[in-house]
Amino acid sequence: MPRGLTTGLLANYIIKDMLRQMTRETNTVHIQTDLGTITIAPAAIAGVAARAVLQTYGVVGMALPSLRDGLVEMLSRDHSKRGVVVHSLDDGLAVDVYVVLAYGLRLSEVANNIKENVRFAVENTVGIPVRHINVHIQAVRPVEATD
C-alpha cells in the first residue's frame, strides 16, 4: 500500500488496481483439466503466432497495430509478438496480425498463407481452436537483397 494515501484516495487506488488486474486477466486463456487449470498468457500465444507469420513466404516483417502519422514501425524479430493481438472467445481464439509484406507478390495469397500457418501453429501448440484470423497489411516494401 502506497504511503500517504487518504481513505478516499486509498479506495480509488484499490479500485484502479482491481480493474488493471481484471483487464490483464480477461484475455488469459484457461484450460480446465482433471488435474487442475492451465493458464496461458496471450503473449505466449502471440509469440507462437508471430513465429508462424515470420516463417511465411512474402512476409518482410511485423508491424505495430497502430499507425503513427501514417508511418509503419517495423518490429525487430525479438519484439515481433507485439504485432499480434490475441482475443479469447467463448469457443476459441481470435488472432489479429499486423504485417509488412513484400512488394511484387499477390497480397491476398500471402495473407491466406499467413492465416493457414497461424491456425496450424496455434492450434497444434496450444490445443485451442482458432476461430478468426485477421491479417492487417500495414505496408508493402521491396525485399532488400542479401549477398
Residue 146 inside a domain? The answer is no
pLDDT number for residue 22:
36
Residue 78 inside a domain? The answer is yes
Residue 147 inside a domain? The answer is no
> What pTM value is reported for the model?
0.75
pLDDT number for residue 142:
86
pLDDT number for residue 73:
72
Residue reference for cell 491466406: 112
Rounded to an integer, what distance in angstroms lies between the CA atom of residue 145 and that of residue 16? 50
Rounded to an integer, what distance in angstroms lies between the CA atom of residue 98 and that of residue 137? 6
pLDDT number for residue 20:
41
The reply to whether 94 and 65 lie within a common domain is: yes
Q: At what angle do helices 107-126 and 42-54 cross, to 10 degrees?
A: 140
The reply to whether 134 and 64 lie within a common domain is: yes
The reply to whether 124 and 62 lie within a common domain is: yes
pLDDT number for residue 55:
95
The reply to whether 57 and 28 lie within a common domain is: no
* HSE toward the beta carbon, residue 74, CA cutoff 13 A: 11
The reply to whether 31 and 49 lie within a common domain is: no
- Look up the CATH number of the domain holding residue 93: 3.30.70.1350
- Those residues with Cβ within 8 angstroms of residue 103's Cβ, 6 or more apart along the chain or in another chain: 140, 141, 142, 143
Instruction: Please give the single-letter amino acid code of residue 108.
Output: S
Structurally, how many domains does the chain consist of?
A: 2
Q: What is the DSSP string of 72-134?
A: --EEPGGGGGGGEEEEEETTEEEEEEEEEEETTS-HHHHHHHHHHHHHHHHHHHH-S-EEEEE
Rounded to an integer, what distance in angstroms lies between the CA atom of residue 34 and that of residue 48? 26
- Those residues with Cβ within 8 angstroms of residue 28's Cβ, 6 or more apart along the chain or in another chain: 39, 40, 41, 42, 88
pLDDT tens series, the chain, 147 aa: 455 555 555 555 554 444 343 334 456 777 777 888 888 889 999 999 999 999 999 999 999 888 765 667 777 778 788 899 999 888 889 999 999 999 999 999 999 999 999 999 999 998 889 999 999 999 998 877 555
- The domain in which residue 92 lies consists of 41-141
The reply to whether 132 and 105 lie within a common domain is: yes
pLDDT number for residue 135:
97
